[in-house]
């Protein structure tokens, strides 16, 4: 018997206002991240494609934000970029190979589940496949983040992961693959050690979980 779907706290779907976005952007810059504020998903996609060099390997983390914005399709399927996923071919049932696939690309592109107004990035994951390149494996990390993911502080960000992102992903997997999800690992990014490595694209629009 399938467990009932966890309840979604829809208060976390509300987009941040301009003042909240500005506070988060300023704090992230203070923590050594490059921050871009854009209006729409189209703007975000165009910016990301301009930031990724054609001759550098790029790994797209599994992300509704990337899928809905068209970034995943552009990076992995257009043939214009050196896509790790496209080059890997069919890995079959080798789950561990799939998890390790994007551990050390030149560039990782993905999203996070929460950005705090005091400059923390929070990511929840079941397998942890995106966490290695996010933390240090990739030479450059680019995160595209919808306005509804801005939260006041780290504690609220952790609640958002468990009370909004996880239930939404649980439902997506159940409807698409008849599977469920869980939080196996959480990565908290507080400050970037290397100048120009971490890039955060904050979108005034709402997208993703």
Q: What's the confidence (pLDDT) of residue 135?
A: 97
119 falls within a domain: yes
Q: Residue 55 sits in a domain of what CATH number?
A: 3.40.50.10420
105 falls within a domain: yes
Tens-place pLDDT, residues 144-175: 999 999 999 999 999 999 999 999 999 988 88
209 falls within a domain: no
60 falls within a domain: yes
208 falls within a domain: no
pTM for the whole thing? 0.94
CA dihedral of residues 65, 192, 195, 104 (deg, nearest 10): -60
Q: Report which of 83, 86, 203 is spatially closest to residue 150, judged by C-alpha positions.
A: 203
155 falls within a domain: yes
62 falls within a domain: yes
Burial per residue of 140-175, b for 16 or more beta-carbon CB atoms within 10 angstroms, e otherwise: bbbbbbbbbbbbeebebbbebbebbbbbbbbbeeee
Query: Where would I find the H helices in 12-165?
Result: 18-30, 41-51, 64-69, 71-77, 84-88, 95-100, 131-132, 154-160
Q: What's the confidence (pLDDT) of residue 1?
A: 46
| Mean per-residue pLDDT, 84-96 | 71
The structural domain count of the chain equals 1
Tens-place pLDDT, residues 103-147: 799 999 999 999 999 999 999 999 888 999 999 999 999 999 999
163 falls within a domain: yes
Domain assignment of residue 156, given as a range: 11-203
Q: What's the confidence (pLDDT) of residue 160?
A: 98
For the chain, give the mean pLDDT: 93
45: exposed, middle or buried (Cβ count in 10 Å: 0-12, 13-18, 19+): buried
Q: What's the confidence (pLDDT) of residue 95?
A: 56
């Amino acid at each position: 018997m399938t467990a009932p779907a966890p309840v979604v706290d829809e208060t976390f779907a509300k987009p941040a206002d301009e003042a909240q976005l500005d506070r988060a952007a300023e704090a992230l810059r203070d923590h050594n991240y490059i921050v871009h504020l854009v209006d729409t998903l189209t703007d975000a996609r165009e910016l990301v494609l301009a930031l990724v060099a054609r001759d550098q390997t790029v790994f797209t983390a599994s992300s509704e934000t990337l899928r809905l914005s068209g970034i995943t399709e552009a990076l992995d399927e257009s043939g214009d970029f050196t896509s790790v996923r496209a080059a890997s071919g069919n890995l079959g049932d080798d789950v561990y190979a799939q998890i390790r696939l994007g551990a050390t690309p030149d560039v990782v592109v993905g999203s996070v589940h929460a950005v705090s107004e005091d400059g923390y990035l929070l990511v929840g994951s079941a397998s942890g496949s995106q966490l290695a390149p996010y933390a240090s494996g990739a030479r450059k990390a680019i995160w595209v983040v919808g306005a509804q993911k801005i939260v006041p502080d780290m504690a609220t960000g952790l609640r958002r992961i468990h009370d909004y992102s996880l239930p939404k992903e649980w439902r997506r997997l159940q409807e698409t693959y008849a599977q469920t999800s869980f939080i196996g690992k959480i990565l908290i990014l507080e400050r970037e050690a290397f100048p120009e490595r971490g890039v955060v694209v904050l979108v005034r629009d709402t997208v993703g979980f």
